[in-house]
Structure 1
Amino acid sequence: MPSMPSVKLRAALSELAAGNMIILTDDEDRENEGDLCVAAEHASPEAINFMAVHGRGLICLSLPETRVQELGLSLLVPPEANQTAHSTPFCMPVDARKGITTGISAPDRAEAVRVALDPSSKPGDLVAPGHLPVLSASSGGVLERPGHTEASVELAKLAGLTPGAVICEIMNREGGMAGQHDLRRLAKEFGFKTLAIRDLIDYLEPRSGFPKCPVGLVAGESF
């Protein structure tokens, strides 16, 4: 019998479906990190500027591995040569080929996200190297690799949106990584819902043998 989503998971999916950001955290024994997360199809220039001002970390586009391949994007290093602690799947950073200035502005990065998400886009519609790092989510999803990359893509899918998200590591005002106190303060200040990746895994694990569909449909509801 599939499990029902937790209250926190439902709240996070409702926020993402409505175009709002959430704070997504991983385990203390992993990166112990909080990321701002917005569904890619809602990644407006305003959202990206907010991440730059208040998140302060690297702003990245998480995409399913299949979409990365469709766009002709390659990993910076092959998996067997990835020496990062958690094998972060960085692809070549990109810009949109048209409709931008330098590529680094919030509108320019939002345009790169839009092009990457557009099903009619072809590899030539993005240029590399650019200013938007792309992360390739594992084909096995968050159950295979419990990272922000996979979790953010999975959440967009469960919210009934195009799989893909823009995420930004949250740093504190002093330039270090935000701790739990900093994350709670940011969530309170801007009314963000916070979700632990573990909550998503707890929902998906019992369902791993079932077809995935939006959580609203699982419960006979919609967002």
Structure 2
Amino acid sequence: MTRRHRQVGEGEHEGGDPLAAALEAFAAGEPVCVHDAEDREGETDLIYPAGATTPEAVARMRNDAGGLICVALSDAVADAFELPFYGETVDHPATEGHDVAYDDRSSFSLTVNHRDTYTGITDTDRSLTIRALGEAASAPRETEFASEFRAPGHVHLLRAARGGLSEREGHTELGIALAEAADLSPAVVVCEMLDDQTGGALAPADARAYADRHGLVYLEGRTIADRLG
């Protein structure tokens, strides 16, 4: 257990501390709901530890969240795997500039399938790829990435900022911070929660209500950034 995890968890969970509860849930392989910020994407993501992602978890993300299922990796792991930022690798005019209001750059890297998958898109195939990414991230220097994974595939990879939360406060960095504080491999699955009625991002109040109904922890990104950043 890391020092930071001990500091956050001691004596706080019983008092209703959501971060301590989130770390306990994450360490047990359970998902949490994280809202980044109203002045950023304004989205809540359902986030799992990559190593705990079963076919049932993929189905839940598809059906209950509905956004894009991505695996976020720490910068150090991405370096070890020689994963580029997509926008810096593809030579096409569409990759020039990242003119979105909420961020300076995109975290997207390659899309991959594990080489033992068939089409790569089924719940079983995607969970296999995701769990393998989580395992590889625990010992990245021992992984021959191209021997284990092929690109393109059906799992989108995201690269965390080199400075983590001190540099960027997206779901990529928020999820990696949770994983590291819970002594897990620095690889998480993130999926945006969408509203079936409006087609937009699920409102924070509705995301919190979903978490309450299913016994999940709901966290504001600011809580994570302030205490783990």
Q: Do Structure 1 and Structure 2 share a fold, with TM-score over 0.5?
A: yes
C-alpha contact 1:71 1:116 (8 A) present in aligned 2: no
Alignment correspondent of 2:173:
150
Identify unmatched segments of 5+ residues in structure 1: 206-223
Give the C-alpha shift of residue 195 in structure 1. 1.0
Alignment correspondent of 2:92:
none
> What percentage of aligned pairs have identical amino acids?
33
Q: Give 1:140's match in structure 2, choosing from 156, 163, 176.
A: 163
**Structure 1 pair 131/159, CA: closer, same or farther in 2 (3 Å)?**
same
**Distance in 1 (alpha carbons) for counterparts of 2:143 and 2:125:** 16
Q: Give 1:194's match in structure 2, choosing from 207, 210, 218.
A: 218
C-alpha contact 2:51 2:132 (8 A) present in aligned 1: no
Give the C-alpha shift of residue 123 in structure 1. 2.1
**1:83 and 2:83 matched:** no
SS at 2:156 equivalent: strand
Alignment correspondent of 1:122:
144
Q: Tell me the amino acid that sits aligned with residue 113 of structure 2.
A: D
Deviations 1:138-163 (A, max 9, x none): 11111210110011011001001111
**Distance in 1 (alpha carbons) for counterparts of 2:185 and 2:99:** 28
Structure 1 outlier segments of 4+, above 6 Å:
none
Tell which deviates more after alignment, 152-161 or 184-193: 184-193
Identify unmatched segments of 5+ residues in structure 2: 90-94
**1:56 and 2:66 matched:** yes
Alignment correspondent of 1:36:
46
SS at 1:113 equivalent: helix
Give the C-alpha shift of residue 165 in structure 1. 0.4
Give the C-alpha shift of residue 115 in structure 1. 2.5
* Greater helix proportion: 2
Q: TM-score, normalization: structure 2? A: 0.82
**Structure 1 pair 82/116, CA: closer, same or farther in 2 (3 Å)?**
farther
Q: Give 1:160's match in structure 2, choosing from 169, 179, 183.
A: 183
Q: Give 2:206's match in structure 1, choosing from 175, 182, 188.
A: 182
Q: Give 2:28's match in structure 1, choosing from 18, 23, 40.
A: 18
SS at 2:87 equivalent: coil
SS at 1:58 equivalent: coil
